[in-house]
Chain A
Amino acid sequence: MATISILANMVPTIPLKDILSSWPYLSTLLGNIYFFVILTATLSFFIIGVSLIIKYAPHILNDLKNLIGTEIPEIGIKLWVAFIFLIPIFFDMGPLWFVLWWFIVLWGYVNRSEKKITFVFIFFIFISSWIAHIGGSFLTMTQTHVNKEIFMIENHMGSIKDVLSVASWIQKHPDDAEPINTQAIVEKRKGNYISAIQLLSRALDLEPNNSRFYNHLGIAFSGALKDREAIGAFKEAIAIAPDNMIYHYNLSRVYQGMYNLYDAEKEIKLASNIDPSRLKEFLDKEGKDINHRFIEEGTPVIRLLYRQLKLSNDLDMASDALWDIGFGSIDRSMAIWLSLIYAMILLILDYMPKERFTKRCSRCGSLYYVGSLSKKGHPMCLQCHWLSTKSKKQPDYIMLNKIEKVKQHRTYYSSDTATLEMILPGMGSIVANNTLKGIYRVCVISAGLIMIITGGQFIFSFIPTGIDLRSIIRFGGILMIGCVYLSAYKIPPIKQGV
């Protein structure tokens, strides 16, 4: 199979900006960006979940020990804790179920900023069905609503198979105006102007305000030598979209054909006022090839993007499959209910007495149950809270002792979290209650990993561009991860001596 660089042939006629406004490329680009963002978010949630387990597993262990008693061997309790966290592994559940489950188990322990992550996650679940739907639309863009066929035919690349597909679609979906317009274009190109006029009239019955259809109707009328009707159709198009220079240009061509040079000139002037360079391009083309006398207008990219989002069996299957990768186990239609039930469970858990959950003082590191919160919402034992809110410090034996304990904890904690940060940037920051920095680093590391693994390519443009950016994206991913590691090394979660 020979691979031909399409771009090499396209460069002289289509600049890069036009490639990006072409539906297959734009949709593929958007799709790849979309999958990249969603996958990064999913991986970030998962890593944040793992970080929270590392942070709070000792707390759970302590509570279980208190609950069961000290007679049970510690290794047994540790195994039980591991089992609790890994329960979703026994079911057909995706990585997001794990995160969901971990947040439930850890809800009594997490601090204020970590709870905010949970709220974002609940929102993520709430919209997950739509996320999967949009993702599915990028996967099935060539297979639904004859979009590919419409694009190929309009761009003079359609095959007989494409024409037949459009015809078959029109029979099954008589209320879909866009393929009818495409069919009319096919008929017009064949010279069957009457048939084209009939089809376009049908399309206009369905969408009376579509200026594009009026433009094509005008061209068909002109082909059928019905200049007066053609002028009427072009004028209708101009009335709907007065800023579209194509309609003025086409109208001027009709006038010119009728030797009404005054009106032809007038329309050319109007077209020139809107887009002179494009007008020049059209006139040049017409000079070289008479077939370019009238300008057809392709389906706007936004319309094709909208069409690919429309429901279909293929889209449903792809969306379900995407949802299954992330969640699975239950139907995609249950996503909203899942998020609501999840929020309700967390709300109920919020009513559990706070004293039942072990907390670790963010200042001295001691485990406690009652305590208080610092200004930033981090847990603090009553002694540290009192020491930190004291307006004037009068050092004495007990206080010095406590301050020494705080220093010792800080030294131990800073080295511990720095090690974690070097294992996986962001993890140490989350453990050190530096949640925002942690989230930022986790997101960057996730993005970097996704870039390296996938090269930024999830879906493929059905018309190849000839450009392969995977190596560059992978290099970008390596660079990003390198930068995060450097930043984690230079700016550890807790600065020693502060």
Chain B
Amino acid sequence: MALLGTLKGFGVTDIFQLISQQIKTGTLVLTSPKYKISILFQEGIIKGVTNDNWATDPRAKVLLNSGLIGEKEYKAALDIQKKGSSKWEDILISQGKLEKTLLDKAANIIIKEIFLDIFQWKEGSYRFEDGDPDTEAMLSCHIVTENLILDTLRIIDEWPLIKQKIPPVDYCPVVITPITEEIAKKNSITAEDAHIFDLIDGKKTIETIIRESLETSFDGLSAFVKLIDASLIEVFPKETKEQIDASITRQAFWKRIKNASVYILLAICIAGLITIGHPRVGPNMFFNPVIKEYIKTQKDLATLYTTQRIRPSNSNANNHAH
């Protein structure tokens, strides 16, 4: 046993960094109160991930949810898997019902979301041991550890920024302006954002589109936020075309009202404050007349004594007290 401890003393990023720097090979087992995750490292590079809670292949669930494979097809492939040696995914690929790239993308989503989760663990324990875990249930991958750390930290950094702008996921996005090269450049639209944009048909909800896109929740939602910010799309409750059109008109009207209200409210606030407050204006803005008066008294006295030729050194002067 090479490494053992709790996450309170040593953070997940530190453990990953250490394994990566030491170019270690072995399995890192992270245990939280909820579940246990095993990560396979080969010379410091992440080669696979497994979760104790996975009763079935998690990729299947992602593909089924996205509608990329049907329930029947999947069950049939599972039946064949039980009889023979081939795996369900190989069967579906050989049957031409599934593309290898989509399978990899599904795996990618699962792995990314697992890492995003474990990087935010505040309690739990870790154990790094030599040798491979049960590779049967392991999702294989090839991820450079430091890239993973940076990418996951970026998501943690940006998530609160995105979170505040996320629209309700059961709303339907509607295209307002098509993406042009200029717009894409101006708003830094990435290939992932464009992919999400392409899936918008006015009927699908945000949740459905993200599932179909095979992007992680973070990437999908941040793409939506970016598209809304760029005024390329707008979101509405799931309604008919007529209702959406009416809704767009209504929203445009309210938008104008909202815009105008920003200025009107500001003007009211300024007028109100001018009325109730007493702004410090005029010649005495920086100088109080009382102070002026006291300084003037000192000056006058100095002038008077100057004209009287009074000076402290002249003890024999005729200005005696008597």
Query: Which residues does A use to contact B, with CB under 8 Å?
Result: 1-4, 6, 9-10, 13-14, 22, 24, 66-67, 69-73, 76-77, 79-80, 83, 87, 89-94, 139-140, 142-143, 148, 153, 155-159, 162-163, 185-186, 189-190, 314, 317-318, 320-322, 324-325, 328, 355, 366-371, 381-383, 386-387, 390-392, 394, 396-399, 402, 458-464
Complex-state Cα separation, A367 to B255, whole angstroms? 27
14 extra interface residue pairs, beta carbon distance < 8 Å, beyond A163-B321, A382-B156, A461-B298:
A66-B161, A76-B263, A91-B277, A91-B278, A92-B280, A153-B321, A157-B312, A158-B321, A321-B288, A321-B291, A325-B287, A355-B160, A369-B161, A462-B298
Pairwise interchain contact A368-B161, C-beta atoms closer than 8 A: yes
Q: Which of B151, B156, B287, B301 contacts A398 (CB 8 A)?
A: B151
Interface contact B299-A13, CB-CB below 8 Å: no
Q: A14 with B313: in contact, given A92-B279, A159-B319 (CB under 8 Å)? A: yes
Q: In whole Å, how far is A123's beta carbon from the nearest beta carbon of chain B?
A: 24
The distance in angstroms between the C-alpha atoms of A90 and B279, with both chains bound, is 5
- Using a CB–CB cutoff of 8 Å, the interface residues on chain B facing chain A are 13, 17, 20-21, 144, 146-147, 149-151, 153-154, 156-161, 164-165, 228-229, 231, 255, 258-259, 262-263, 266, 269-270, 273-274, 277-280, 286-288, 290-291, 294-295, 297-299, 301-303, 305-307, 309-317, 319-322
- In the bound complex, what is the Cα–Cα distance between A355 and B163 (angstroms)? 11
Closest 10 pairs (CB-CB, A-B): A369-B160, A90-B273, A321-B290, A76-B262, A382-B153, A90-B277, A321-B288, A462-B301, A91-B277, A10-B313
**Chain B interface helix/strand/loop/mixed:** helix
Complex contacts, B277 vs chain A, CB 8 Å: 90-92
Asked whether, in the complex, the Cβ of A6 is within 8 Å of the Cβ of B306, the reply is: yes
Chain A residues in 8 Å Cβ range of B291: 139, 318, 321-322, 325
Which residues of chain A come closer than 8 Å to B158, judged between CB atoms?
A: 368
**Are the CB atoms of B311 and A328 closer together than 8 Å?**
no
- Measured between beta carbons, the chain B residues less than 8 angstroms from A399 are 146-147, 150
Minimal beta-carbon separation of A301 from chain B (angstroms) = 12
**In the assembled complex, how far is the CB of residue B189 from the closest CB belonging to chain A, in whole angstroms?**
16
A189–B312 touching, CB < 8 Å: no
A-B contact pairs, 14 of them (CB 8 A): A3-B306, A4-B306, A9-B314, A76-B262, A80-B262, A90-B274, A156-B316, A158-B319, A369-B157, A369-B160, A382-B157, A394-B20, A462-B302, A464-B302
Q: Whole-angstrom distance from the CB of B224 to the nearest CB of chain A?
A: 13
Asked if A318 and B290 sit within 8 Å, CB to CB, the answer is yes
A6 in contact with B311 given A92-B277, A139-B291 (CB within 8 Å):
yes
- Complex Cα–Cα for A97 and B213 (A): 54
What residue of chain A has the Cβ atom nearest to residue B301's Cβ?
A: A462
Do A70 and B228 touch across chains, with their CB atoms under 8 A apart?
Answer: yes
Q: How near does chain B come to A156, taking the closest CB pair, in angstroms? A: 5
Bound form: Cα–Cα A356–B11 in Å:
24
* Closest Cβ neighbor of A97 among chain B residues: B280
Kindly report which residue of chain B lies nearest to residue A163, judged by CB atoms. B321
Min CB distance B97 to A, Å, is 35
A317 contact set on B, CB distance < 8 A: 290
Judging by beta carbons under 8 Å apart, are A190 and B322 in contact? yes
CA distance A383 to B146 in the complex (A): 11
Instruction: Tell me which residues across on chain A come within 8 A of B266, comparing CB atoms.
Output: 76, 79-80, 83
How many angstroms from the CA of A328 to the CA of B274 in the assembled complex?
Answer: 17
